[in-house]
Structure 1
Amino acid sequence: MIKSNYRIQSSKIIQFIFCVLTIYLFISCNGKNKSYEENNDQPLTIDSLLALRYQQFLKYQVDSTAFPRSYNPKNKTIKKVPSSNWTSGFYAGALWQIFELTGEETFKKKAEEWTAFIEKEKFNDRTHDMGFKVFCSFGNGLKHNNDNDYKDIIVKSAQTLSTRFDEKIGSIRSWDFGKEKWQFPVIIDNMMNLELLFEATKISKDSSFHKLAVIHANTTLKNHFRPDHSTWHVLDYDTISGDVRMRVTHQGINDDSAWARGQAWAINGFTMAYRYTRDPKYLEQAKATANFFINHKNLPEDGIPYWDFDDPAIPNSPRDVSAAAITASALVELYEYTQDQTYLNYSKKVLNSLRSTNYILPKEMKIPFILDHSSGDYSQKSEMDEPIIYGDYYFLQTALRLKDL
């Protein structure tokens, strides 16, 4: 009888230990356990691989002059940029988003450190990229730190961005370079920087920022789109008459092509503009360009587009993970406004595609990036088919938006 009870107790202890180990492994595989380390004998799930990729963000050395932008697989180097670079805010923003996904305070602390390095950009009037730099960093931080300093930085950045607005043209100037060929260039990417202006009005109650953003959006809506609802990349305006001088590309395959990331900026930008204004014409344009994108004959089955829809080298052409992620994030929001399941289906497809080993970087790569196969600037033949930080940023944003649904 004693032996029998002993066997029963032993069995219960073994079952208890098994249950504890099962729970531990479940937590580890979902990336919630900070002590998870690489183990060659342990099979990796996608979520545990993501957890390892997140850890690389913590391991990267904090350096105010070296925001990680991309990784060159040929020479095995990380491209590092100062805060003035248009991509600097994505790294801090990605850390804020990883904190939101995991709840791990170490990511919040690291996000605060990197975000602080961007503050001086609030005075930088030589760029239109205030939204990318300041709002992706301080804007994400404001969700978790109701900090008046963060609010002041956002408002000051909006004031600085406003100095690039031209009333006759009705737009914010994008670039200061290229003066030998352009008078007043405006790129479709610029729509994304309007979020900073809209939020600055919410924070400060100064309606001038909101009004300026609306004028820029209206000018873009009037001039930037083709009849099929695709978008040109660059419009150049005459500074005297305010008329369009030319419609060209800077990063696409040619002037009349549909550069994938440009279409993504348009979809995301006008969806965001609708969020703040509830103007139906913005919603209609977001839907029309989204339909062009997701129904395009050259869009691969997994939803990850080639870098340019009109590249004659398709299907032997680089993909652009960043364009997929930017669009997927926008279409989660667009679904909320339209209840069109097509948009949600695309977002889920993209997230599932990106959460595969085809796109997530392997555990052996000790670099602060999550995804491979984004494409940067074709005109310079740089960052084509590489890990790029804004691909990670919008991937994380898509995951958070789907989680909130």
Structure 2
Amino acid sequence: MSILKKGKKVLAIALATTLVGCFSTKKETSSTSVDSVLNANTIKVKAALKDLKTFDSFPRTISKGHNKWEKVGVKDWCSGFWPGVLWYAYEFSGDEELKKAAENFTLPIKTIAYSEALDHDVGFQVFNSYGNGYRLTGNPEYKKVLLAAADTLATLYNPIVGSIHSWPMKPQYPHNTIIDNMINLELLFWAAKNGGSKKLYDIAESHAEVTMKHLVRPDYSTYHLGAFDDKTGAFIRGVAHQGYADNSLWARGQTWGIYGFSFAYRETGRDDFLKTAIGLADKFLERLPEDGMPFWDFDDPKIPNAPKDASAAAVAACGLLDLSSLVKDSELKETYFNAAKRFIAILSSETYLSNTTNQALLLHSTGHHPRNSEIDVPIIYADYYFMEALLRLKKMEASKKKIIVNF
């Protein structure tokens, strides 16, 4: 039996039905299949390599009026996304040139695993690069780096608070935990199953529990950051940081939560994590505007003239596909699966695909709006999660067809 209240469930199902009805419109399906979008993306990723010859310099964003990637160093939190994109392109195509490029851009990130942890982004940096590389090649050296990175990330854990100190560089918050950090728990869960200490599992579970209790509001909207007393563990307050206001709904933060609590349930089997993932997903879907693409923050008073965030839609698609495979209720499975397909269809439309505009795959993402940073531009993590969502959908649809044939 679903843990949703009946009325809430009906709302979610009705929403999904509306979204699926729009999925087949000509505007949103200019690319006719998942394979065709993946193929076009792979060609474009490979073409971008011609301008990317320095392997410790990674694409991050493209400013308005420019057409080539602006790059960052290894320690930037976005460094792992480009090698991850390359691994996904290789996974789809089997192109050995892409594999070699993925290996070349992955190697410099090794230093993160063996250096002092500066923040929680170790997972984004190492698991997206080395993790995908190990998954696709089984390279034992990659496994060593991943296990070392998990131990490095774990050094930020405060047992008094029960969570990882996400941003040590923010002294105004003695101990802080941000919703983004949920994604980095996957590295710890993986390591605990693949030769790492059992303590890594315990840290990941505890962190998810603290996040659930303090960063998820009663209505299933989320704070970006939770501030804690590092000596007593007491929760001090929730903060917007990258959102519009402390009580607003920052779109990408909500999707980090959907994604993170879905795999936290998959790893732990805890029903409260599943309930949280469902609540976060329903809140996100019910706040969507008519065109199905989230504004950067659902409570920006400038709506409908506020910028959108394609990266939030891409992360949501990944999280919802995972969640659709975890919920038991068949109607909820369909709801989340179809909502994810809707996001992928919109991202695959002429409105959001970059095509010949620049080297990125997607347009119209928003990074840090309060700082006026990366507003309505391509951002590498949007491309990463777009590729992930497409590959997830391809595998899930292939699995469904196999089940039908076998039946």
Is 2:293 the partner of 1:300? no
After TM superposition, give the deviation of residue 303 of structure 1 in Å: 2.4
Tell me, what secondary structure is at the counterpart of 1:118?
Answer: helix
| 8 Å Cα contact 1:132/1:193 also seen in 2 | yes
Name the CA distance, whole Å, in 2 between partners of 1:130 and 1:241.
26
**1:43-54 mapped onto 2 (5 Å cutoff):** 49-54=40-45
Question: 2:315 maps to which residue?
Answer: 326
Q: TM-score, normalised by structure 2?
A: 0.85
User: Which piece of structure 1 moves more, 355-364 or 150-159?
Assistant: 355-364
Q: Return 5+ residue gaps in structure 2 as ranges.
A: 1-31, 397-407
Question: Following TM superposition, by how much is the alpha carbon of 1:142 offset from its aligned partner in structure 2, in angstroms?
Answer: 0.8
Bigger RCO (CA 8 Å, 6+ sep): 2
C-alpha separation between the residues in 1 aligned to 2:147 and 2:118?
17
Q: 1:223 aligns with which of 197, 214, 217?
A: 214
Deviations for 1:14-50, whole angstroms, at most 9, x for unmatched residues?
A: xxxxxxxxxxxxxxx9899xxxxxxxxxxxx866653
CA distance in 1, matches of 2:350, 2:257: 29
The correspondence for 1:343, drawn from 316, 336, 343, is 336
Are 1:46 and 1:357, in contact at CA under 8 Å, matched by a contact in 2?
Answer: no
Q: Is the 8 A contact 1:62 1:114 kept in 2?
A: no
Give the aligned residue type for 2:251.
Answer: A
Aligned to 2:61: 70
1:403 aligned onto 2:394? yes
How many matched pairs? Answer: 360
Deviation at 1:377, TM superposition (A): 0.5
Q: Which residue of 2 aligns with 1:290?
A: 281
Question: Which letter maps to 1:350?
Answer: F
Alignment of 1:33-48 (within 5 A): none
User: Residue 364 and residue 314 in structure 1: after superposition, are their counterparts in 2 closer, same or farther (change >3 A)?
Assistant: closer
- Specify the alignment match of 2:202 in structure 1: 211
Q: CA deviation at 1:290?
A: 0.1
1:317 aligns with 2:309: no
Shift of the 117–30 alpha-carbon distance from structure 1 to 2, 3 Å rule, reads farther
Q: Distance in 2 between matches of 1:30 and 1:218?
A: 39
Q: AA paired with 2:273?
A: Y
Larger Rg over CA atoms: 1
What residue number does 1:12 align with? none
SS at match of 2:69: strand
Q: CA deviation at 1:364?
A: 5.0
For structure 1, the residue ranges without an aligned partner over 5 or more in a row are 1-28, 33-44
Residue 375, structure 1, aligned to residue 369, structure 2: no
2:56–2:105 contact (8 Å) kept in structure 1? no
Distance 1:196 1:98 in 2: 21
Q: Which of 137, 141, 150 in structure 1 is aligned with 2:129?
A: 137
- Report the secondary structure of 1:221's partner residue: helix
Aligned to 2:237: 246
2:151 to 133, 154, 159: 159
The normalised TM-score by structure 1 is 0.85
Preserved contact between residue 188 and residue 233 of structure 1 (Cα < 8 Å): yes
| Cα shift at 1:77 | 6.0
Determine the C-alpha separation between the residues in 1 that align with 2:326 and 2:253: 22
Q: Is the 8 A contact 1:318 1:375 kept in 2?
A: yes
Amino acid in structure 2 at the alignment position of 1:132 = F
Question: What is the root-mean-square deviation of aligned Cα atoms in Å?
Answer: 1.8
Q: For 1:242-294, what per-residue CA distance to the aligned partner results, in whole angstroms no more than 9, with x for missing partners? A: 10112111101111110000000000000011111111111110000000001
Q: Distance in 2 between matches of 1:364 and 1:289?
A: 34
**Match 1:121 to one of 93, 112, 119:** 112
Helix, strand or coil for the counterpart of 1:204? Answer: coil
- How far is 1:60 from its partner? 3.1
Superposed CA deviations along residues 145-171 of structure 1, whole A, max 9, x for unmatched, are 111111110110111111110010001
Aligned equivalents of 2:101 and 2:276: distance in 1?
A: 38
Contact 1:31 1:51 in 2 (8 A): no
Contact residue 30 and residue 51 of structure 1 kept, 8 A: no
CA shift in 2, pair 1:74/1:214, >3 Å:
same
Task: Answer whether contact 2:261 2:276 (CA < 8 A) is retained.
Answer: yes
SS at match of 2:294: coil
* 1:400 partner SS: helix
Residue 3 of structure 1 corresponds to which residue in structure 2?
A: none
Larger CA deviation: 198-207 vs 277-286: 198-207
Partners of 1:386 and 1:119 in 2: CA distance? 29
Partner Cα distance (1:364, 1:285) in 2: 39
1:238 and 1:245 in contact (8 A); partners too? yes
Q: Look up the match of 1:8.
A: none
Q: State percent identity of aligned pairs.
A: 40
Kindly report which structure 2 residues correspond to 1:43-122, keeping only aligned pairs within 5 A, or say none: 49-74=40-65, 78-122=69-113
Shift of 1:194: 0.3
1:149 to 130, 141, 164: 141
Report Cα offsets for 1:103-159 as digits up to 9, x if no partner.
222111111110001000102311111110000001101111111111110110111
